[in-house]
């Protein structure tokens, strides 16, 4: 029987708060190029649930994977850093 995986968590910054009960969180990561060994910055945006609209633009937050809450929302904000 396979082991149960924990939900994924990422750290990122709130870049948009225009949607009700939703924040757009940008997660940055560095990827190493195999050929040259140079690091490149890659970023991705996630729509995350914010029930009480407490997180504002620029806040550093931790998001966690959850069940689908809407068409594009699969994450929720669990803490402010």
Q: What is the CATH number of the domain that holds 15?
A: 2.40.50.140
Q: Per-residue pLDDT for the chain (81 aa), expressed as one digit of tens each?
A: 677 788 999 999 999 999 999 999 999 999 999 999 999 999 999 999 999 999 999 999 999 999 999 999 999 999 999
pLDDT at 1: 66
* CB-count exposure of residue 8 (10 Å: 0-12, 13-18, 19+): exposed
Containing structural domain, residue 9: 1-43+52-58+67-81
Whole-number pLDDT of residue 44: 98
Please count the structural domains in the chain: 1
Q: Are 63 and 6 in contact (CB under 8 A)?
A: no
């Amino acid at each position: 029987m396979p082991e149960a995986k924990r939900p994924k968590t990422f750290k990122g910054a709130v870049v948009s708060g225009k949607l009700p009960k939703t924040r757009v969180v940008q997660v940055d990561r560095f990827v190493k190029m195999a050929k040259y060994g140079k690091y490149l910055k890659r970023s991705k945006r996630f729509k995350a649930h914010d029930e009480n609209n407490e997180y504002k633009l620029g806040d550093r937050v931790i998001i966690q994977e959850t069940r689908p809450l809407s068409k594009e929302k699969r994450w929720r904000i669990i803490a402010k850093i």
